[in-house]
Chains A and B, each alone.
Chain A
Amino acid sequence: METIVDISDVRKTYAGGFEALKGVTLSIRKGEILALLGPNGAGKTTLISTICGITNPGSGTIAVGGHDVVRDYRAARRLIGLVPQEINLEPFSKVRDTVAFSRGLFGKPKDDALIERILRQLSLWDKRDARVLELSGGMKRRVLIAKALAHEPEVLFLDEPTAGVDVELRKEMWEIVAEMKAQGTTIILTTHYIEEAEAIADRVGVINGGQLLLVEEKTALMQRLGQKCLQIDLQEPVEAVPEALAAYGLELADDGQALRYTYDTRGESTGITRLLGDLSAAGLSLRDIHTEQSSLEDIFVGLVKEGAA
């Protein structure tokens, strides 16, 4: 698949000596949704800011659509739309004016029809003549998105688009992102909400301590690193895990009504068959069994711990 953003060994050290990026290399494919997942301070915003020209580049190279973001910044930046994390809007300007301003700033001729389409798509058309300060927080976020889309970018960066927004608005943001993707826009979003990456991303990159720990297809990532949990509900509660089953590392759950067995889907053998045999040998009768796929959250916590170790 065609690469649209090519990041090669990018390092960034701030004036205070803080090394925010320690050699990040990443290829972003045209048309995909890539979620950059990481805790606060992982380097997500620094990476985006470096691509978009907001922070001074350290070493390494970044190309967007084949244009170097430093040498050929005009061509590169024309392709990029940025939705910042903070709600940075001029409070006194009108919605329509501030969106039209963004289009002009990127060198595009006036296009009222396009601005109307964007505002309608983001349910802002009714508020077109309202001043930014009159809008709710959710609407302000949508104005930020409208501004980023006003110059018809091919690549859209969303820096923590749903940080601090309620569930309903978060779902709405996801729908907007899905629409953008359907229109062919490449989307890179940063988040520390795992369910966000899980819900909308095609690929997930995990970033921590200024390093990209991995980038993988979301489904593959979950398969590869996914741990599963088998819950065994018992007919009669037990006080402790029977001696004979000690090797399985079972946990007691539901006041002894259930046993939980964690296994790795990556392993050659999951040990389930043997466990079930040993359970009946130990004289336990089962009421029910079910398994749970571990979420990206578990994967993520595991990776970050690994990185820290």
Chain B
Amino acid sequence: MNWAAIRAMYVSEMTRFFRTIAQSFISPVISTSLYFVVFGAAIGSRIDQVEGVSYGAFIVPGLIMLSVMTQALSNASFGIYFPKFIGTIYELLSAPVNFLEIVLGFVGAAATKALFIGLVILGTAALFVDVQIQHPLAMLTFLVLTCLSFALFGFIIGIWAGNFEQLQLVPLLVVTPLVFLGGSFYSISMLPPIWQKITLFNPVVYLISGFRWSFFGVADVPIGMSLLAIAGFTALCLGVIWWIFKTGWRIRS
């Protein structure tokens, strides 16, 4: 393994992150606060409890997941799209690095940023509601795995995207709806039976359910299924990236 290269890529990506640290920090804090005001206070006051948890606390894992997924995705997709766009990718392609090293550097940095933002949101949420975490280790595992898998997914999107519109397209048209319909703000048991079935085809349901379980010990789907889903998704993304570098799809002519 070319560890020096992994470090160089990781540090360079993180430097970009720290250049905009204020934005990276402030925007999730503001948006989380807004969600709490709208969903927690305004709407939440009319909803009693969901599965024995106050609505304000119930939406915390979903809110974290929503931000973490979109942040991991957009950071990773932009992280690899930018060198493609400005042409600096020549350096990665001509360096003595393999696909795994590039992924560790770029995806690792994107996942770190998303993890950081996830923790910031958790901290912000704790200011509004009483957050209890029943399974802290499982919570961290889910959080890290979600950061990683969505960063991997974002990396693929960044390589696929031919312009900035396409870069926005997948997060906007696919991921945001899946996350919103994945039980971020509700338990799927609140849905009509037919929608409960349809919802099970949404992979995000498994992630949010597992993550929520680590907080409250209640889940929409079995915890094993959640772990399986996230492991499968990670493996799929890794497989696709391996193939991309093997064939040079969209990066080597």
Residues of A within 8 A of B (CB): 14-15, 52-56, 73-78, 80, 82, 84, 86, 88-93, 97, 100-109, 147
Contact = CB atoms under 8 A, between A and B. Distances in A.
Given A55-B252, A93-B12, A105 B90 contact: no
22 contacts: A53-B94, A56-B252, A73-B96, A76-B96, A77-B94, A77-B95, A80-B94, A82-B90, A88-B87, A90-B86, A93-B15, A100-B8, A101-B12, A102-B91, A103-B8, A104-B5, A105-B5, A105-B92, A106-B95, A107-B2, A107-B3, A107-B96
B181 to A, nearest CB: 37
Given A97-B12, A105-B97, 7 more contacts: A54-B252, A84-B87, A84-B90, A88-B87, A92-B16, A105-B5, A147-B91
Interface residues of B, number: 28
Interface string B1-37: 0111101110110011001000000000000000000
A56 B95 contact: no
A88 B88 contact: yes
A77 B96 contact: yes
A131 to B, nearest CB: 10
Max count, chain B CB within 10 A of own CB: residue among A54, A84, A92, A108: A54
Interface of B: 2-5, 7-9, 11-12, 15-16, 19, 82-83, 86-88, 90-97, 248, 252-253
Q: What is the interface of chain B mostly: helix, strand, loop, or mixed?
A: helix
A104 B7 contact: yes
Contact of B94 (A14, A52, A91, A109): A52
A106 B3 CA distance: 10
Given A14-B253, A54-B252, A97-B12, A106 B96 contact: yes
A14 B8 CA distance: 32
A106 B253 contact: no
B11 to A, nearest CB: 8
Contacts of B87: 84, 86, 88
A111 to B, nearest CB: 11
Nearest to B93: A54
B8 to A, nearest CB: 3
Nearest to A46: B253
A55 B253 contact: yes
B86 A91 contact: yes
Contacts of A105: 4-5, 8-9, 91-92, 95, 97
A110 to B, nearest CB: 8
A89 B83 CA distance: 9
Nearest to A86: B87
Given A14-B253, A92-B19, A101-B12, A107 B91 contact: no
Contacts of A88: 86-88, 90-91
A276 B90 CA distance: 59
Nearest to B88: A88
**Top 6 closest A-B pairs, CB basis?**
A104-B8, A88-B87, A74-B96, A52-B94, A77-B96, A107-B2
Given A77-B94, A105-B95, A89 B7 contact: no
A91 B19 CA distance: 13
A74 B2 contact: yes
